[in-house]
């Protein structure tokens, strides 16, 4: 984590099919990144590639007017500054 400092001040953007729906920053988390890592590490062994999900910034689909729902074929991208982008295709059950 030395490249990212303490993990605060990182932009987090969520896109649905390329359209920005959420744009937040880790400095706005209720708990700082180092605290979250320490707290979780007391219960679980964190491995390379593990994700810590912290909640959602403003813009979530169910709170929009009109509401935004996911559909088969959609692609959800989450980008964290300095880390990269995770792309998730939406598929039917």
pLDDT at 3: 79
How many domains are contained in the chain?
A: 1
Given a cut of 70, is residue 59 above it in pLDDT? Answer: yes
Q: How far apart are CA 26 and CA 56, in angstroms?
A: 11
Tens-place pLDDT, residues 22-47: 999 999 999 999 999 999 999 999 99
Range(s) of the domain holding residue 35? 2-89
The Cα angle at residue 57 between residues 51 and 59, in degrees rounded to 5: 125
pTM of this structure: 0.81
What's the token pair of residue 24?
């937040």
CATH number of the domain where residue 65 is located: 3.90.850.10
Given a cut of 80, is residue 91 above it in pLDDT? Answer: yes
Q: How far apart are CA 7 and CA 26, in angstroms?
A: 7
């Amino acid at each position: 984590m030395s490249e990212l400092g303490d993990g605060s001040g990182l932009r987090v953007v969520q896109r649905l099919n390329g359209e920005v729906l959420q744009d937040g920053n880790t400095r706005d988390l209720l708990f700082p990144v180092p605290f979250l890592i320490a707290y979780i590490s007391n219960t679980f062994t964190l491995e390379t590639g593990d994700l810590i999900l912290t909640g959602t910034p403003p813009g979530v689909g169910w709170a929009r007017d009109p509401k935004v729902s996911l559909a088969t074929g959609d692609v959800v991208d989450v980008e964290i500054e300095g880390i990269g982008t995770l792309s998730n295709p939406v598929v039917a059950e």
